[in-house]
Amino acid sequence: MGSIHPMKLQSNDTGEKLNAAEQGKLWATYMGNTMSIQVLSYVLNHVEDKEVKEVMQSAFNLSKQIVMTIKDLLQQEQYPLPIGFTEEDVNVSAPRLFADEFYLHYLKYLGKAGSSLYSIAVPLVTRRDVRSLFTQLVDNSVQLLNKTNEVLISKGMLSKPPYIPYPTKAGFIDNKNYMRGFFGEVRPLQAMEITHLYDIIENNSISKAVLIGFSQVAQSDKVKQYFLRGKDIAYKHYNMCSKLLEQEDLSAPMTLDPLVTTSTTPPFSDKLMMFHKVDMFTMRVRSYANAASLSARHDLLEKYTRMIVDVGKYSEDGANLMIQNRWLEEPPHCVDREALVTK
């Protein structure tokens, strides 16, 4: 393996300061990738399958490169580095917690969240060097996702969204009941609704397995109970969406629970695991809201609203638990003018 270097960015020759969007996205990207480095260092210490290890190594190298690049950029700005996650948050010698196959599904799960974070940043950031960074990150994340999918396909491990018949002709909606979903004649699911239901099922299948593993190795009883509650939410959402596909005689992704081992030795700190799950559940609010925006049936909108409430409350409770333990790092924020006046 060759040495890893920071990415080459366009120069900030205007002397611009980092705006709120740039600070926020750089902070979130740094935090997420310092976590990924620790998780992937553990994975690489025991993964056996050669192809899986190659993909994990690519992901590890990319996370290292991202952290190095942001670190250089922030230091040039004399901007305080986030604490993030370090070698103190991982025990690379801990026994295997997941099967090799699971790591491919897990990497796809992380990759979807990362590419969403980066692609949303591109139209919001304006400084040339930061724009250059996030543009590269979108491209790199897509390449890694493609590589992950290729290995899943080659090993026969990738479940695909269900097939539906081609339409016989193009046309317009002429039925005022098109959005009905509770009573009377309910129309079949359309392609975009199937797409997002499938994505949500897949994400919850992976999340449930992660939560099973984390609950086995958590050291704090409160953290353990938090993960078990998250597992129940993930399974509830998995079932809600799976039933909608099954009603249309469409297949749904299988659960991945058998890919979790029986190890109870913690490979990660409770702090890292809590950050991981709160962060991913927060991302799920965006996923559910996006699905709702592309669904026309009233019953789907009602289900997504309930699911958003579930994950929103769960994420809030997780953040409060992290605050109690002084694990929740403060992101960049605006000045509290009122506090300055009363100081």
| % of the chain at pLDDT higher than 70 | 98
Tell me the residue type at 244: L
Average pLDDT over residues 307-332: 96
CATH of domain 191-324: 1.20.1260.10
Q: What is the pLDDT of residues 157-210, one digit of tens each?
A: 988 999 999 999 998 888 777 777 665 578 889 999 999 999 999 999 999 999
Backbone φ and ψ of 98, nearest 5°: -135, 155
Domain boundaries, the chain: 20-154, 191-324
Nearest to residue 145, comparing CAs of 58, 28, 36?
58
- The CATH fold assigned to 20-154 is Ferritin (1.20.1260)
pTM for the full predicted model: 0.93
pLDDT of residue 342: 78
Q: What is the pLDDT of residues 257-296, one digit of tens each?
A: 999 999 999 999 999 999 999 999 998 999 999 999 999 8
Per-residue burial over 169-204, b = 16 or more CB atoms within 10 Å of its CB, e = otherwise? eeeeeeeeeeebbeeeeeeebeeebbebbbbbbbbb
Per-residue burial over 257-285, b = 16 or more CB atoms within 10 Å of its CB, e = otherwise? eebbeeeeebbbbbbbbbbbbbbbbbbbb
Nearest to residue 255, comparing CAs of 205, 329, 320, 182?
205
pLDDT of residue 45: 96
pLDDT of residue 71: 97
Quickly list H helices, 47-127.
50-76, 100-121
Per the prediction, the chain carries an average pLDDT of: 93
Tell me if 20-154 shares its fold with 191-324. Answer: yes
pLDDT of residue 184: 58
Contact 96, 46 (CB under 8 A): yes
